């Protein structure tokens, strides 16, 4: 059964959402969305947090990665964790590396759990738009499409409740929308198992 876990920032309850011991779950961590950010400290923080939970973490930077390397690492993993940053940069390199083609069948078969934070959550949706602001699209000038992996049928409104994003979020939710949008705060996770979806606290 497909398992997709999407959030904005916190993922403290992740081990409780999985079957089995975290120590037996190899995790592939994808930091690519952070490549174009000035402050990337959260990447190390997240990897340390995952390791502290007991996961075996290996890193998979998608920029410059071959499809063969991506396939090999995903084939050895039980969970892929895609962090936040610039969603357009992430999508560009996810497409070039073959990640966007390799991940969906693994997730849908139940062989791989997908966890995405912020930009990583957007990558799991049908399209980065309308939830990702196009103000940062210039970071990926060669990106020709915003179509994402469609692991889920809805869009994610990450960082919902952030005062700095409140006005844009209000306008977005008030406008005609191409599909369902599910808001998620920094302290929540969207958990999709098969056709069932729930929004839960990220900290328990």
End-to-end CA distance of the chain, in Å? 24
Q: How far apart are CA 194 and CA 77, in angstroms?
A: 20
Could you tell me if 142 and 89 are in contact, meaning their C-beta atoms sit under 8 angstroms apart? Answer: no
| Antiparallel, parallel or unpaired: β 113-117 and 3-7 | parallel
pLDDT tens string 50-77: 999 999 999 999 999 999 999 999 999 9
Instruction: Please tell me whether the overall predicted TM-score, pTM, comes out greater than 0.95 for this model.
Output: yes
On the question of a cis peptide bond just before residue 117, with omega within 30 degrees of 0, the verdict is: no
pLDDT tens string 106-153: 999 999 999 999 999 999 999 999 999 999 999 999 999 999 999 999
């Amino acid at each position: 059964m497909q398992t997709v876990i999407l959030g904005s920032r916190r993922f403290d309850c992740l081990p409780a959402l999985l079957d089995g011991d975290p120590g037996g779950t190899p995790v592939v961590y994808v930091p690519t969305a952070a490549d174009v950010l000035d402050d990337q400290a959260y990447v190390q923080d997240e990897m340390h947090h995952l390791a502290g939970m007991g996961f075996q973490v290996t890193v998979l930077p998608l920029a410059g990665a071959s499809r063969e390397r991506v396939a090999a690492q995903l084939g050895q993993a039980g969970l892929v964790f895609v962090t936040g940053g610039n969603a357009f940069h992430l999508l560009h390199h996810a497409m070039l590396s073959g990640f966007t083609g390799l991940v969906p069948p693994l997730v849908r078969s139940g062989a791989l759990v997908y966890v995405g934070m912020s930009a990583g959550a957007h990558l799991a949706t049908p399209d980065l738009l309308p939830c990702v602001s196009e103000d940062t699209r210039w970071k990926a000038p060669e990106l020709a499409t915003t179509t994402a992996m469609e692991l889920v049928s809805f869009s994610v409104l990450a960082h919902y409740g952030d005062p700095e994003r409140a006005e844009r979020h209000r306008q977005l939710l008030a406008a005609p929308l191409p599909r369902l949008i599910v808001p998620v705060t920094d302290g929540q996770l969207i958990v999709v198992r098969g056709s069932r979806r729930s929004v839960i606290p990220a900290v328990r």
